[in-house]
Structure formats: structure tokens, C-alpha cells
Amino acid sequence: MNNFKLRFFVLPFLALSFSNFIHGQCAGTDSVIEICNKDANVSNRNFNLFAELGGAPTTGGTWSTTNPANFNALSQNSGIVDLWRINNYGVHVFTYNNTACNQTATVTINLGGYPGEDNIDGSANACSDNASVNLNGFLGSEIEGKVQDFNGLWEEDPSTATGFISGFSFDAFSAGPGTYIFTYTTGTVASCTSRTATLILEVHPSPEEGTPEDFVICTNEDFSSLTNVDLFDFLTGQDPNGTWSEGISTNQLSDLNDSFINIDEINTNLGYGSYPFTYTVYPTHPVCTEKKATVNIIILPVLDGPLVVDNFCLGDTYVVNLSYDNTILPNGQYNLEYTLNSNSGLKTGIAQDVILNNGIAQFSLDPTLVATNEFITIDIISTIGTVPAQDVCPTILVDETTFLVSNANTTVSEICVNTEATVELVNVLDVSGGMANGLYNLEYTLTDPNGGTADITLTGIQLTNGNSSFLIPATNFLLDGEYAINLTIEDTFPTNCNLGALFNVLATPEVIQLDLLVDNNCDAIQIDVLIDAPVLVDGTYIITYDVTQLGSNTVLTTNTINFTGGTANYQIDVDTLPIGNYTASVRSVQDDTTLCRLVFEFEENENFSRGGVPDAPQAVANQTFCLSDFPGGPTLMDIEVTSSGDLLFYASETDTDMLPITTPLVDGEDYFISNTDTLNNYEGTERIPVTVSFSNPNAPTSTNLNPMFCAENNPTLLSIDIDVTAGSSIVWFDASANGNALDATTILEDGESYFAATTSSGSCTSTNRLEITPTVVTVVPSSLSGDTLVVCGLDNPTVLQLRTLEEEIDNDVFWYSTETGGTALNDDIALIADTVYYAENYNAATGCSSANRVPVTVDLSNCDPENYDFFIPDGFSPNADGRNDTFFIPNIETIFPDFTIEILNRYGTSLFKGDKFKPAWDGSNGSSTAPNGVYFYIINYKKGNSEPIQGRLYLNR
């Protein structure tokens, strides 16, 4: 029932009059009421506050509260309040405001608490996986709108106290399954006593789905042991009453009782992917939900295939080509992490978003990671799929490969025309990839500004640590402009790098032209000094001309001129000089800084005299010429003559027409020679005769111009039969004319022509050469189907079994037990285990054999025990009677060559350990004798899938 207690305060008349004065009559007066059991009367849902005002209030005002929790329970216009919606026991104040008189009055309610209804009939249930059970949810009434107060106190009953309550929240997860008693108490308000509701909560066990562990395997691994896998092997801590289901249809689970799957079959039928299997456990009470744990069978795709990397030049894009097996790796974008290992250290890079499509991929290396001039080993160490996201097997089946980036280069500095150029070679590698050291041959093409080219070969260029330099003669630089050089060096590391350079050749500036004109060198009267000098913009010429007497070097006349350029003509009168020999000279010195000015001093001299006749020349009267020394034939300039002046040649002693110096000599012909004075160019009066003759030995001969040799004998030029004239010898060349002389030890090449010439005792070589073209027969190594012969030694195999490997059609095959030399083996020779035999091709038509023999290793362990009555004895009698004195397994060393055996006594003590080198036990125990009794053996066959075996044997002496 409702307990209303209306309290009226009787005040002295003065106080009442004062109060009426303050509040007036239109808002009424303040009042205080008490309601203890609001829940007992449904009419409290429409409690009229206006009726509780004192005095004579008038309608038309509005109601308000300062407590936001009461806002929705109050009708501000009517003053009706729903006390059931006030869910906090205590003091609540409501204010009436009447604007007609601008006055207010309050109604104060001391509201007792409502703890809700007891819940002790088993309807309060929670699950043990709930760490925050809201206890307020169990105290509600079945009457709509009747809700317990929110500001009460929850407490555990001492009989089931856990300490896991906080406010209205109970930690059932920590408390665990069980029954727990709680009380909810609302406190005392004014004369309203506290009230308590009791809750009996049953916490039911949550189903335990267990902790799953994914099984991860790569698609190319061995699945043979995964044909009957129990899914429970990947789950721990689960309830036993659950069932398995599969998320992707693998057809592995036959019914709800089945937990075994065939992962090998999944891989065979579906390939790589993630295959979920879910274990579901159902609760014992509906308050708990079913739980699921998913085990993922993850079959990872595999990157498997070769890398192909070319050698690069510095500055190239370092492209790596990858071929892979696209049946075990899907198309997509991948990040490939790789390492680059070289002498410079180990570096790691990542190729981002590499497109792998239909078994082909290509990516570029980070050039900042790539060392130069050293071998680099690239290895892919991880693969991650990005588009789409894809895990990949961490085992990468891509063999590492090696490449090199060459930084070889050529530089040529700017030069002037008609000067030699220095070519600098840097970082040249030898064939093994190291810095080149030693003598090398090179060829280069020089291209001039007009496009003309010159191909030049240099031999014996010294390279030191990959560096060298050589000179290009000045005669190659007669034009100014841009030149290009491109080189190839023999026997160096093969790359496609352009070993070349561009460089400029600067023109030589014009030089001063000086000249002396003597009117008569034999009897001079006047000498003209002629000067033609380019104008200098940053210097001057100092020109001096004079006349000096020969012998005494006395200067008889001189003059000096300073100027910056132009032309000039000066005369020197010498008609007053006494008879004698003189030199007229003109010299110029300049001080400008013009580029490519190579000469700064110039001089012209002219000898003249006042008479004089030169001495006659001296020469051997009969001179012989070897025609091989003169490819174009000897000329007059080849006659050996000693003279103090310039030579003059005539056809007869009286002929007045001089012969050109390039006139070809005629065998047996006479020539006449005179000379001129070196000082005055005056020709002498005497001519001397010289008779010339030619020498040209006969060429060698041979009855066999196309001899045949076997390549395995390394034939040389000495191997060729040549006939020459007695007292002469042979010289070999690589061309029919000119060419290079060859050493007699030069190895012959098949189909190559060689040219023999005769050298006489007088050291003349024949101009005619004999061409010899040998046939050098090379027999290829034997073609075999394999490099290992696997047979059973118990079948007594012979060399005849080796012939099953032969795939030769054109040649005979002989077998040897040595890599070189030795005697061919007969077919009935027994094979020896772990021995290398060698096959050699023999060509019956030519009688030649292959230079290299092909090795084959013999394995005699291919024996099936069941075919050879293999058995293990169960006893032996080591009594030295010559029978069964050792425990020995017949033929085990042949059938299982890698086997081991251990003998133990009944206490597990090891007495003997053996193998094919020590296969028999003689019944000893160290230095003592093992007693009669039962012993045990453990045999590890170490072959194929043969499992180790153990058994017992009896020792009886």
C-alpha cells in the first residue's frame, strides 16, 4: 500500500503572513510528502503534483525539475509525474511556476526504494564465458513499467561469495560454472525503510571449442604421410562432444563422426589454397551459444624455376628473367626479396609488384645495390603475393645464379692534329671476370670526321689490374674535328659493352713561312729573304737573318725585325764576299699562346758558295737483292751508297737524264751514280757503276697437299712432310704473300691453310709459297644415356652392362678403367663397385679417337632382397671350428651398402657396431668373450624406404 505522510508546519502568525506575502496565492505554497512503496499502487504512475501544493494555487503554470533523470517522468504542463519511471530512491523536488503572478512553489517527495522482485526460481541463468553479467536484468517485474531502482547496492551472499562482483556486473567467466546468491538493497529514505530483493543466478558452462592450429605445407612437398590425418591433432583443450564440418567442398568428411582427412588428396584434386575445417561444440544450456574453432589446412603455392641473368654494362637496366612452374603458383603481382652477394658484401633488395604471368616474370635490380667488376650471386629469398594477397611457400626453389656488371671504359683526351693520342683503358676484365693482367691483343676502329675508318690491330698490350694505355700514331690525325674509337680486346670477359670513346682533334694554327732564294748556289751575288707571317693577336715575331762563313762560323752580316704579322722581302748582297762556302739563315721566334701551337721557333738555311766540286760517292760494285725482302721489287733507293751529298742515278756514264729514285731495278743491269755538294748543291764530275743481281730460291714441294691428322695427337706444322733443296730450310706463313711468320710448333687447325717457303743458306726466302691444307679429325666424346650404371653386384655384371648406356651411331666405343692411357677392357671383365669407368669413341674410318673420355660411376647396390634370398641368421657358434664362427648376414654389404648393425646384450649394452667394412661379429665383447645366450641386433638398412629392423640371435659356443 501507499504510505503518504503529509507534513504541515505550524508557524507563528507572523511567519505565515510573511510566507503568504512571498509566494502569493496563484502558485500555492511549498509542501513535502513521503511515498514508501510506490510499486504497490499503479496509480502512482499518474501522481498529481498540483494536488499536493499548499495554499490556493491556480492552474495555468508549468512544472520543472532540476534532476535530468526525472525529466521524462514529468508532464510539465499538467504536473502529472510517473513515479514508476523515477528509478532512484531519495529526495526529489518539483517546482511549479505560475507566470500569472510570477510566483513559484515546490513539492518535495521523499521517495522510498524499490529493489525489484526476487528471482530465485531458477530463471536467472548466465554463461560462464560472460565476464560482465548485468545482474539488474534479473530483477524486473512482469508488470509493464515496473522497474527496480538503479541506485541500490548489489552484494554477494556470504555462502557463495566469489569477489567477482563490481557494481551491478558479475564476472561469471572468472567465477566459473555454479549457483550464486546475490542481494540487491535500496536504502532508507526519511521514514521509508530499506528493502532487499534476492537473486539466485545459475552460471552454466560455456562450450569449449578448443584452440586451433593451422597446418601449413607447400604444394610440392611430400604428402605421402598425410593421407589419413586426424583434425583433432590440430586442436587442443576442446570439449569432446563437437562435430567437424568443411568450409570448402573437399569431400573429405563422410559424416558428423568423421575427423580424418586426406591432405594428399586435397592437394592432388584442388592444389594450393586454404581449406577450412570447423569444429562446432554445442552448449548444455541455451543461455550459452555454440562455439566454433576453425583449423585451416593451408597448402602454399611454390615459386619454382630458373633465373636467367645476363652480364651487364654499367648504366644498363639490370633485368632479371624468371621462368617458373605456373601450375604451382598463380598469376599475380608479387614482391620478390633477393640478395646480391659479392666480394663487396651481402646486400638485400625487394622487387615491388613483379607481374608473374603464365610462367614468365621479369624484374629489375636496384642499381644502387649492384657492385661492379666482380661476380654477383643473386638469390631470391622470399616471395609475397600482393595483388591478390597471397602467401607463398617460404622455401624458394629458384637456384641462385651469377652475373657481372662491367665498368670497363675508354678515354681519350683532346689532342692537336698530327699528334699522337693516348688511349686509356680502365677496368678491363679477363675471361675469368678478374682484373686483367698480362699481355693482350686488341683491335680498334678509328673513325675520322669525314667518316673514314682505319682498322688497327695491336699485339702484346700490357694490362695491369685491368688498366692500360696505348698510343695512336699522329699520322692518323691529319684532320681536325671529332673522332671515334671502338675497341675489342681478345681473351677478355665477354660482354656487349661498347668499349669506345669520342674525342676532339684541334687544328694546328698557321705558321710563319720563311724562305731564302739564292740567285746561284755555286756563285751567289744576291739572296732574297721572304717572310709571310699570320697575324698574332696575343704575341709578336722576332725575326733575324744573317750570313755565316762555313768552317769559321763567322757572322758576316745580320739584321733583326719585330712585328705582329704580314709579309716582307729583304735582300742580302753577297757579291763582295770572298770565294768560299757560306750559309744564309733566317730565324723567327714568337711568344703567342695559341692552342695547338707546337713550334714557336722557325729557321731556314741555304748553303751557297763561290765555287767547289763534291767528292765522288762510294759503293760496292756488285750488289745482290733477295726478292722476298722486297714485295714490290727493289728500286734505286735500295742500292747501298755512301755519299756526303744527295745522290743522282743515271742509266749510263754519259746519260744526261736522271733516273727517278723509285725506278725498279733490273736483274744484271748496270747503274751509274753521282752526287751533289751538300752545301751548294753542285753536282760532281765523276760517276761510279753498280751491277745488281736478284736471288729467289725455289719453293718447297710435297706429295700430299691435304694431309690428315687426329686431333687427339695435337699435330703441329712439324707434323707435315715437306721437301726442300738440300742445305735449305722451311719457313711457315699464314698467307700466300706477306702475312705473319708461324712457329713450327703451331697447332694445326682443321681446314686451315698454311704456306711454306724455302730459306736458302744465304738467308733469302722464296717468294713462291706452297699451300698445305690439313684435315684434322676431331672425334666427339661418347654419347651416353647417363653417367651412372645402377645394377646388382650379385648378378656378376661385366663391362658388357656398360654398353647399355651407349647411344653412339657413328663411332665405336671402348671402355677403360683410367681417364687417360691404359688398355681397353674386354666385355667380360667384371665390374667393381664404386669404380669410375671411362668411355672413349673410336672412328674406324679415320683411326682417330675422342680426346676426352666420358666417366661413368658404377653402383652395384640395385638388388631387391626378395630376389636374392636375403635372410638374417638367428644364431652362430664362434668356436673356431671354421663354421658359423661369426654372425654375418650374407650379401648385406652388396644389397644395402650403407647399412649399419649394432649388437646389444639383454641389458642394452652395445657389444658390437659394424658396417660393410666390418660386417661380422665374432662373439667378442671388447677384449673379453661374450657368454652363450640371447643377444639383440639393430640393423639400419639406410636405403630407400627400408625401415630399421631389430631382432634376436642366439650365441652358442
pLDDT tens-digit map of 916-943: 899 999 989 888 899 999 999 999 999 8
- Give the separation between CA 212 and CA 231, rounded to whole angstroms: 10
Contact 561, 543 (CB under 8 A): yes
Q: Is residue 605 within a helix (H) or strand (E), and if so which, with residue range?
A: strand 601-609
- Given pLDDT bands bounded at 50, 70 and 90, which one contains residue 679? low
**High-pLDDT (> 70) share of the chain, %:** 97
Q: Does the domain formed by 211-300 have CATH 1.20.1300?
A: no
What are the E-state strand segments in 226-289?
A: 229-230, 235-236, 243-246, 260-261, 273-281
DSSP structure string for 837-883: EEEEEEETTTTEEBSSPEEEEEE-B---GGGGT----SEE--SSSSS
pLDDT(1) > 60 = no
Q: Which of 586, 587, 592, 588 is nearest to 535 (CA)?
A: 592
- Given pLDDT bands bounded at 50, 70 and 90, which one contains residue 82? very high
pLDDT tens-digit map of 205-246: 999 999 999 999 999 999 999 999 999 999 999 999 899 999
Between 183 and 908, residue with greater pLDDT: 183
The reply to whether omega before 578 is within 30° of 0 (cis) is no
Domain covering 868-955: architecture: Sandwich (2.60)
Number of CB atoms found within 10 A of residue 699's CB: 16
Contact 801, 859 (CB under 8 A): no
Selected from 2.60.120, 1.10.8, 3.90.550, 2.60.40, the CATH number assigned to the domain covering 307-406 reads 2.60.40
Burial class of residue 557, CB neighbours in 10 A (0-12, 13-18, 19+): middle
pLDDT tens-digit map of 540-592: 999 999 999 988 888 988 999 898 989 989 899 988 888 888 899 999 999 88
610-624, 661-675, 887-901: segment of lowest average pLDDT: 610-624
Average pLDDT estimate for 639-665: 91
Q: Which CATH number is associated with domain 513-609? A: 2.60.40.10
Domain covering 409-506: architecture: Sandwich (2.60)
pLDDT tens-digit map of 156-196: 999 999 999 999 999 999 999 999 999 999 999 999 999 99
pLDDT of residue 614: 74
- Give the separation between CA 44 and CA 33, rounded to whole angstroms: 13
Residue 852 amino acid letter = N
Average pLDDT estimate for 708-716: 92
DSSP structure string for 778-806: -BPPPPBS-SEEE-BGGG--BHHHHGGGB
β-bridge mates for residue 716, sequence order: 747
pLDDT of residue 10: 32
pLDDT of residue 19: 39
Between 786 and 404, residue with greater pLDDT: 404
Contact 2, 44 (CB under 8 A): yes
pLDDT tens-digit map of 13-23: 333 333 333 44
Q: Which of 364, 480, 371, 459 is nearest to 416 (CA)?
A: 480
- Give the separation between CA 521 and CA 607, rounded to whole angstroms: 7
State if pTM tops 0.75. Answer: no
pLDDT of residue 680: 64
Residue 897 amino acid letter = P
pLDDT of residue 612: 59
Domain 618-695 in this protein, CATH class: mainly beta
88-92, 280-284, 655-659, 684-688: segment of lowest average pLDDT: 684-688
DSSP structure string for 310-367: --EETTS--EEEEE--TTSS-SEEEEEEEEEEETTEEEEEEEEEEEEETTEEEEE--G
Q: How far apart are the first and last CA of the chain?
A: 111
pLDDT(12) > 60 = no
Residue 722 amino acid letter = I
- Given pLDDT bands bounded at 50, 70 and 90, which one contains residue 894? confident
- The 3-state DSSP class for residue 368 equals helix
pLDDT of residue 809: 82
**High-pLDDT (> 90) share of the chain, %:** 71
